[in-house]
Amino acid sequence: MNFTASVIAEFLKGSVEGNPEAAVNDVSKIEEGRAGTISFLANPKYEKYIYDTKSSIVIVNADFSPQKSIPATLIRVQNAYEAFAALLRLYEQSKPKKSGISKQASISESATVGKDIYVGEFTVVSDNAILDDGVQLYPQVYVGDRVTIGEGTILHAGVKVYEGCVIGAHCVIHSGAIIGADGFGFAPNQENNYEKVPQLGKVIIEDHVEIGANTTVDRSTMGATILRKGVKLDNLIMVGHNVEIGENTVIAAQSGVSGSSKIGKNCMFGGQVGLIGHITIANGVKIAAQSGITKDIKEEGIVIQGSPAFEFGPYQRSMAIFRNLPKLVNQINDLDKRTQNL
């Protein structure tokens, strides 16, 4: 289906600069633009491509000032990245949804199944599970006993949800993720062996949460491990037992959150961040990639880096000194030799 620049601009509440009848039916990167596609320019590093792109339409920020003529039709909006994301969401929603229950799926007679659901091949829905309207379970998903899955939630192929866990509405959980496996709880005994501490709690995932591929969220020892509304977890993340992650917090790949830590809302963690257990992170904290957090962070909105982590500015200055340590050592040794010769 083709869409003209004027129709797209109306949807995005933007303005057209160029041919309002320019039509597109696909998307492309601005550096790989093709006729009949739409691209966007948000990062100034990519501005050089807009002057030669073959894309028929390019979405740009309202304040973009070109240095020379541009062959493509422009649509000016307040935020080009957000506008392009809105277009992609519209395209995603327009694709036909899978529906129906495969004959090769296994659904317990005691399970409650809503309307307009999809259950793929070799998926198992166990006793007393509840699937609300519009739930989509792709092939080889496992839904344990007494699991509740909210309206419109999608579990991609191979997701496993252990018994008793609760997943809210309009969540997306990607392939290989495991929700509700036992937390890492072992106690040494008198024979110097480790005895397993039963993990009797569950995982609660609130609405509009997205969890990446092969990420694991452990069930609590007692009570619940909780991911609040709007949390976004990347691939390959480990969330320990009894952890709570606040609303709209985002965590990048290969990060780990140890048991019983509490993370505030609107936090942002870079990749490979690690938190020890039983600490609290304030709202709005930003943690740079590969940082190690060993104590509570009580100041809201602070940016930290390092292992152990501390404030971003002092860390950067410290790194500048660290890089010069060999030179400084040589200078000190030279001064020491001169002093001894006096």
Amino acid at 258: S
Distance CA 190, CA 285 (A): 42
The burial class, CB within 10 Å (0-12 / 13-18 / 19+), for 272 is: middle
3-class secondary structure, 186:
strand
Residue whose C-alpha is closest to residue 202's, from 163, 240, 237, 231? 163
DSSP state of 38: E
Which residues are tagged catalytic? 241
Distance CA 237, CA 92 (A): 26
Phi, psi values for residue 340, rounded to 5°: -65, -25
Q: Which residue shows structure tokens 């062996």? A: 193
Q: Which residue shows structure tokens 């696909």? A: 26
Q: What is the pairing mode between strands 286-287 and 309-311?
A: unpaired
Edge to edge, the sheet with strand 262-263 lists 112-113, 130-131, 148-149, 166-167, 202-205, 224-227, 244-245, 262-263, 280-281
> Which residues lie closer than 8 Å to 250 by C-beta, 6 or more apart?
231, 232, 233, 267, 268, 269
Q: Which residue shows structure tokens 């990607």? A: 174
Distances in Å between the Cα of 106 and the Cα atoms of 89, 120, 126 are 32, 10, 8
**C-beta separation of 8 from 57 below 8 A:** yes
